[in-house]
Amino acid sequence: MGGPTMAVMALKCPEIEVVVVDISEPRINAWNSDRLPIYEPGLEDVVKQCRGKNLFFSTDVEKHVFESDIVFVSVNTPTKTQGLGAGKAADLTYWESAARMIADVSKSSKIVVEKSTVPVRTAEAIEKILTHNSKGIEFQILSNPEFLAEGTAIKDLYNPDRVLIGGRDTAAGQKAIKALRDVYAHWVPVEQIICTNLWSAELSKLAANAFLAQRISSVNAMSALCEATGADVTQVAHAVGTDTRIGPKFLNASVGFGGSCFQKDILNLIYICECNGLPEAANYWKQVVKVNDYQKIRFANRVVSSMFNTVSGKKIAILGFAFKKDTGDTRETPAIDVCNRLVADKAKLSIYDPQVLEEQIRRDLSMARFDWDHPVPLQQIKAEGISEQVNVVSDAYEATKDAHGLCVLTEWDEFKSLDFKKIFDNMQKPAFVFDGRNVVDAVKLREIGFIVYSIGKPLDSWLKDMPAVA
């Protein structure tokens, strides 16, 4: 998030010098190369325009923090894996070490901006770390959470729905808010820059992600009922979404939400509710995560139950591994749970994704829960290998050759225009398609001869008597 956000800031504010610093040398090397460390439409163009002019990438974190007036902290804030709050609370190790470093190297006053998503009242802790070691230097902490979505990050940064800045209600706090507002005002209309107190800004980010994820879990819960009753979830979502109070966006049923933020941020919200003695509020949000888990397992179980209740030794093609299209990001992708479930049932997987590298897929399928958000040397890799059961290939036709079934797990556009007749001819019969993103033309595929399962849609007669249990 830090790289793309600061690259756009450099592009829009040519008189401001922006230096993106990271302790990870490979990442910085990639930012300085022709192959950026992340895939994001439009990002390369932005970086090429500013790199070497007013945008720089460096591992010399201390030097550039020392020289700066405003420090944006965008470090990772994973879910804790051990100790108090494990599996829910945010792990602020990386944030705390960044704050201590800022305190150590600073010789002039600075505005420190929380860009990472953090628990509400983190700014208070950060303030304590900074002022405790401040040697008389003044630090102002601002909360400026980022709302970009991966896959559309550059578009979102150019035209954000809003920019949110929270700060202290003191003269110095308000001055800091104004300084940051002036930066964004280079390209964001001032009426879209919302200024609040620190705690509202911090909590609004968690609330926004919880609301978005809740919409997906709502429509996914509905998709299970659609399958049971013969309703079509696309029609239901359209009918519901035309109500202007509800709106049409974020109502696509799918195999489940993923990405680095939704689950992590809801778990964090649940933990904060619990810590504040609000178990009912915590349980409400817990259900959003539970329905997401249910949807992923429901999908995998549907695959197994449709294929005579066993996938042992059967080749299953997995089309798409990224958590959504137009990104190579696999963090918390539903594909991990679906693949692991099928591997546990002894299936042989042949995986193709246009953007995700084989090494990443293998790592994801071997990693312990929540470990993806920690540096590679700290990740625990499962002892038992998955290598014999998983094959990663470089195109959809190779993935589906001689397969018994294919699962669409990411809505990549290229999957819509595949030659399904050719695919059908090269698959074992009966040939199954399990569409976890509702991207294929089910009517056309049935005409070709496939047995098709589309999430939340009326079931093929073949599938009707099969249990849809999770």
Ligand X SMILES: NC(=O)c1ccc[n+]([C@@H]2O[C@H](COP(=O)([O-])OP(=O)(O)OC[C@H]3O[C@@H](n4cnc5c(N)ncnc54)[C@H](O)[C@@H]3O)[C@@H](O)[C@H]2O)c1
Residue 98 binds ligand X (CB under 6 A): yes
The residue (of 246 and 376) whose beta carbon lies closer to ligand X is 376
Which of 114, 127, 150, 435 is in the footprint of ligand X by CB under 6 A?
150
Considering only 46-54, 74-82, 102-110, 396-404, which stretch makes contact with ligand X by CB under 6 A? Answer: 74-82
Kindly give, in sequence order, each residue whose CB lies less than 8 Å from that of residue 447, ignoring residues fewer than 6 positions away. Answer: none
CB-nearer residue toward ligand X: 1 or 351: 1
Of positions 31, 56, 72, 94, contacts ligand X by CB under 6 A: 94
Q: According to the binding rule CB under 6 A, does residue 240 interact with ligand X?
A: no
CB of 378 to ligand X, least distance (A): 12
Between 24 and 380, CB nearer to ligand X: 24
Least distance in angstroms from the C-beta of 403 to ligand X = 33
In terms of CB distance, is 93 or 174 closer to ligand X?
A: 93
| Residues near 165 by beta carbon (within 8 Å), at least 6 away in sequence | 142, 143, 144, 177, 180, 181, 184, 193, 194, 195, 196, 201
Q: Which of 7, 19, 77, 347 binds ligand X (CB under 6 A)?
A: 77
Residue 2, interface with ligand X (CB under 6 A)?
A: yes
Which span sits near ligand X by CB under 6 A: 126-134, 144-152, 186-194, 219-227? 144-152
Residue nearer to ligand X on the CB measure, 189 or 375: 375
Helix (H, G, I), strand (E, B) or coil at 179: helix
* Comparison of 100 and 168: residue with beta carbon closer to ligand X: 100
User: Whole-angstrom Cα distance, residue 135 to residue 29?
Assistant: 34
Reduced to 3 states (helix: H, G, I; strand: E, B; else coil), residue 454 is strand
Selected binder of ligand X within 1, 18, 226, 466 (CB under 6 A): 1
Residue 456 tokens read as 């939340």
| 268 binds ligand X per the rule CB under 6 A | no
Please state the closest distance from residue 191 (CB atom) to ligand X, in A.
23
> What would the two tokens of residue 224 be?
């299970």
Which member of 13, 50, 261, 407 is catalytic?
261
* Beta bridge pairs of residue 268: none
Binding of residue 330 to ligand X (CB under 6 A): no
Strand, helix or coil for residue 361: helix
Name the nearest CA neighbour of 318 among 229, 205, 398, 225. 398
Among 75, 213, 289, 307, binds ligand X (CB under 6 A): 75
Task: Clarify whether 226 is annotated catalytic.
Answer: no
Site for ligand X, residues 8 to 27, rule: CB under 6 A: 21-24, 27
Q: Which residue is nearest to ligand X (CB)?
A: 116
Question: Locate tokens 């995560």: which residue?
Answer: 289
> What is the full DSSP assignment across 114-169?
E-S---TTHHHHHHHHHHHT-TT--EEEEE------TTSHHHHHHS-S-EEEEE-S
Q: Is 116 in the site for ligand X (CB under 6 A)?
A: yes
Q: How far is the CB of 455 from ligand X (least distance, A)?
A: 24
| Cα distance between residue 136 and residue 116, in whole Å | 26
| Interaction pattern, residues 52-71, with ligand X; x per rule: CB under 6 A | ---------x----------
CB of 435 to ligand X, least distance (A): 26
Please say which residue, 65 or 399, places its beta carbon nearer to ligand X.
65
Residue 242, CA distances (Å) to 157, 211, 230 in order: 27, 18, 21
CA distances in angstroms from 391 to 3, 321, 403, 405, listed in the order given: 32, 13, 12, 15
**Residues 195/200/201/203 CA torsion (nearest 10 deg):** -160
> Residue 289 CB, nearest distance to ligand X (Å)?
16
Distance from C-alpha of 343 to C-alpha of 341, rounded to nearest angstrom: 5
Determine contact, residues 119/275, Cβ cutoff 8 Å: no
212 binds ligand X (CB under 6 A): no
The residue within the footprint of ligand X, chosen from 76, 144, 295, 350 (CB under 6 A), is 76
Strands, sheet with 110-114, edge to edge from the N-terminal-most edge strand: 70-73, 110-114, 139-143, 163-167, 193-197
Is there binding between residue 29 and ligand X (CB under 6 A)? no
Contact call for residue 260 and ligand X (CB under 6 A): yes
Q: Which is nearer to ligand X, 334 or 405 (CB)?
A: 334
Residue 220 host element (H or E) = helix 198-229
Residues 359-378 within binding reach of ligand X (CB under 6 A): none
Least distance in angstroms from the C-beta of 8 to ligand X: 13
- Taking the C-alpha atoms of residue 243 and residue 254, their distance in angstroms, rounded to an integer, is 21
395-429: b or e for each residue (b if 16 or more CB lie within 10 Å)? ebeebbbebbbbbbbbbbeebeebebeebbeebee
54 token code pair: 């007013």
Q: Which is nearer to ligand X, 79 or 218 (CB)?
A: 79
**Of the candidate residues 40, 91, 114, 146, the single one contacting ligand X (CB under 6 A):** 146
| 456: region left, alpha or beta (phi > 0 left; psi from -120 to 50 alpha) | left
Which residues sit at the interface with ligand X, rule CB under 6 A?
1-2, 21-24, 27, 61, 74-77, 94, 97-98, 116-117, 146, 148, 150, 260-261
Active centre residues (catalytic): 261
